Structure 1
Amino acid sequence: MPGPLGDATRRRLTDAAAARLDDDGYEVAHPETRTEPPAVATPRSGGTALAVEPLTPDDATATVIASRLAHALDREHRACFVVDDDATAETVRSLLADPSLLVAERDGHRTFHAGPDRIPVPGGGYACVRSEGLGEPTFAWRETDTPIGPVPAGPGVDAAPVDEAGSPVVPRLVCEVDGRVVAVLAGVESLREPPAEAFPYAYSRHPDDKRFRVRRGSDGEVVESASGFAPMRSAGYVPIPMPIVPEHALGAAVAPERRSEGEKGDGAEAVIDDAWDLIRVDAVDSS
């Protein structure tokens, strides 16, 4: 699969893993397309194939790990991550340990990693926020029980029901920028088709003059016109990143089991635990 690895490093990690897997009883094939992993190892005795996925330290992110794990699951393979240093190996284990692919989880409420994708909104374009601070803003996505009242919801998402404790059945999904709440939605499913009014602003490129138009989420009024992305950013408008939601990235099998407070199901974690392996190979001596 395409990625930031140099070809030489990619081949070295792949070849080292392939040799080890061959010794361990696997038949190793090398797909001829870069849309697939550089090697797929199938047990000679039968069983689930391994998608060999080499990783450098820069690749060991929630975005890359989720993408490659999803690719393997889609093909009914297990992902076999290959690294050549202890720090990268520990990062991979940490990202996939309970809570898998999450920043944190407490009392059934999750905090998500921000991903590379943007959030499409009705009418075209993507959600954005105004940020006038120096440098790049910090985004955080988390689930919470507040507010209990009406919040923007996607099609088919009922934000109204509450449980016996008075908490919303559908957790609220909060987006914060530098610690400031800028958007609240009715749960992660509302991200699939979020209403435009859920976000402060949205931007899109006009088909005629190719300029970026920034419009207010509440009423659609255009508040900024910029000749390109950089001028739009200079005016203080920044795209809101889509959070990495495990069940969206990997499929419904890893969706959390919503139980009573303090009680947690382990079905999703078991699916992820069974979906990957890790090989640590020797690094090249550069001295």
Structure 2
Amino acid sequence: MPLNLPHNLPAIEILSKEHIFVMNDLRASTQDIRPLKIAVLNLMPLKITTETDLIRLLSNSPLQIEIDFVQLETHFPKNTPIEHLLEFYKPFSSIRNNFYDGFIVTGAPVELLPFEKVNYWQELTDIFNWARTHVTSTFYICWAAQAAMYHFYGINKYPLEKKLFGVFKHKINDPSFPLFRGFDDEFYAPHSRHTTVSIEEINEHPELTVLSQSDEAGVYIVSSRGGREFYVTGHSEYSPLTLHNEYMRDVKKGLKSVELPINYYRNNDPAQPPIVLWRSHANLLFINWLNYFVYQATPFDIKKIQELGEL
């Protein structure tokens, strides 16, 4: 998918080397179509890595997209150069009157904290509420999925005995649901988290539908509001080496509880390259979301998103 990006965003150079087509803002200005407007609230500490992972997946369909990277104003990240944030990120207050066809909220490394103890919780829930009237479809990832389900529906998160870490097999509960067009009957997706949610609690809410789950990893994808919100507890956007980098980081820290990521390394040997089992699923997941729940659902006049209502 041609993405309208600032011409010097680091992700462009990285993805060009992978032969993935992205379009800078100069070329995009010559195309006489209305691009989809997607906002990304990037809560991950390594923001450039996450930007690249998401753009890699959003670039795989024939529609043009404009992306706004959004940052919180009550929390300042420590692992991304200030110059990068100033050039490529917008504070939420500067976009809160805008409307977006799609909105992605990433995970964050705060899952062991109670939600209300996260220092930017008030601002984040304000953004969650804003999305319901200013966005056609929102895609919550990992901790953000747990946080949004807690905020909107009171779904609790629970600590796991050990970190859920690796690539796990999933099944689809409703194969006819458009999000799963082209999917195999079973598919793999990465997870990296210390907490989980209860399918029993989710099923108590008729507004929520569990679309996909795993025998090992639990609930994976939940939808609400007719596809205007998706809660994805895993990391389909991860690049091939992300789990490896997380594993090596924890090994260097000397953490005694570190275990090899499951179903990841060839021959279960971290000296060998990983086997990527989730790439096709990840591409289909994002393409189907963009096609069926953003592009086909959003009004041409983007300001009429508000007329879609909160229900």
**Range of TM-score over shorter length:** under 0.3
Q: When the two structures are superposed, what TM-score results if normalisation uses the length of structure 1?
A: 0.28
Higher helix content, 1 or 2:
2
Q: Which has the larger radius of gyration?
A: 1
Higher strand content, 1 or 2:
1
Q: When the two structures are superposed, what TM-score results if normalisation uses the length of structure 2?
A: 0.26
